[in-house]
């Protein structure tokens, strides 16, 4: 009987975002606003109640961020959620 190997990865590998990918555009906007406000990724994570690794993934366009996290980030950056989305066509 042939042995079948099980993979440990429960999630398929994510594709690299293209330059017009909304995740990448959103992440660039978050990074721009974070830097303008003089915040580190770690401080933004604290203010938004999210993990610092998650913030980095969002900024690199690797995360498909949920609505509640968009709201948390917006409030931490002291703006309305729609302002985080304004560069996405």
Kindly state whether residue 12 falls inside one of the protein's structural domains: no
- Label residue 18 by pLDDT band (50, 70, 90): confident
The CATH number linked to 80 is 1.10.260.40
Q: CA 74 to CA 51: how far, in whole Å?
A: 15
Residue 10 lies inside a defined structural domain of this protein: no
Can you give the pTM of this predicted structure? Answer: 0.78
Mapping DSSP to helix (H, G, I), strand (E, B) and coil, where does residue 9 land? Answer: coil
Question: Do the domain assignments include residue 5?
Answer: no
Domain assignment present for 9: no
Tell me if 16 is assigned to some domain: no
Report residue 14's pLDDT band, with 50, 70 and 90 as the boundaries: low
Is residue 63 one of the residues assigned to a domain? yes
Domain count, the chain: 1
24-43 as b/e, with b when 16 or more CB fall inside 10 Å?
A: bbbbebbbebbeeeebebee
Domain that holds residue 27: 22-85
Is the four-CA dihedral 89, 55, 75, 71 of positive or negative sign? positive
């Amino acid at each position: 009987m042939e042995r079948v190997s099980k993979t440990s990865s429960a999630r398929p590998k994510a594709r690299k975002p293209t330059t017009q990918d909304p995740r990448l555009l959103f992440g660039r906007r978050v990074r721009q606003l974070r830097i303008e406000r003089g915040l580190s990724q770690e401080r933004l994570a604290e203010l938004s109640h999210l993990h610092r690794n998650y913030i980095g993934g969002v900024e690199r366009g690797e995360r498909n961020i949920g609505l509640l996290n968009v709201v948390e980030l917006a409030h931490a950056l002291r703006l309305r959620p729609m302002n985080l989305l304004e560069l996405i066509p």
